[in-house]
Amino acid sequence: MRILFDECVDERLRHSFRDHDCQTARRAGLAGLGNGKLLAAAEALGFEVLVTVDQNIPYQRDLVGRAITVMILRGATVRLTDLLILVPQALEALATSQPAQVVRVGNR
């Protein structure tokens, strides 16, 4: 699965998704884009999932008709140590995720 990590997510987290093709927004040339443009650009580049900690995307952008899934990580903080705890649950959620879906991972 092609996964894009939003620039608000620690770039090192991508190493925990070993069986997937992962890139960061910065490395994909998408840093600095607003959420709407980011989603469109990610789809155009063939990404299937956007991983973010931005809780507001579902309220700012309608995902109906989108080919991308938005996965929101909800750790105790956005620090890498707190996000790493969520990786097993995130990987499990990826297996059943669908396009145009918002998947929330974590308890926050």
Q: Which pLDDT score, from 0 to 100, does residue 58 have?
A: 82
Q: What is the mean pLDDT of the chain?
A: 94
Say which range, 20-34, 41-55, 56-70, 90-104, has the weakest mean pLDDT.
Answer: 56-70
Distance CA 102, CA 22 (A): 18
Q: pLDDT tens, 73-100? A: 999 999 999 999 999 999 999 999 999 9
Q: Which pLDDT score, from 0 to 100, does residue 28 have?
A: 96
Q: For residue 70, what is the DSSP state? A: E
Give 108's pLDDT tier (boundaries 50, 70, 90). Answer: low
Distance CA 51, CA 73 (A): 7
For the entire predicted model, the pTM comes to 0.94
Residue 16: pLDDT above 90? Answer: yes
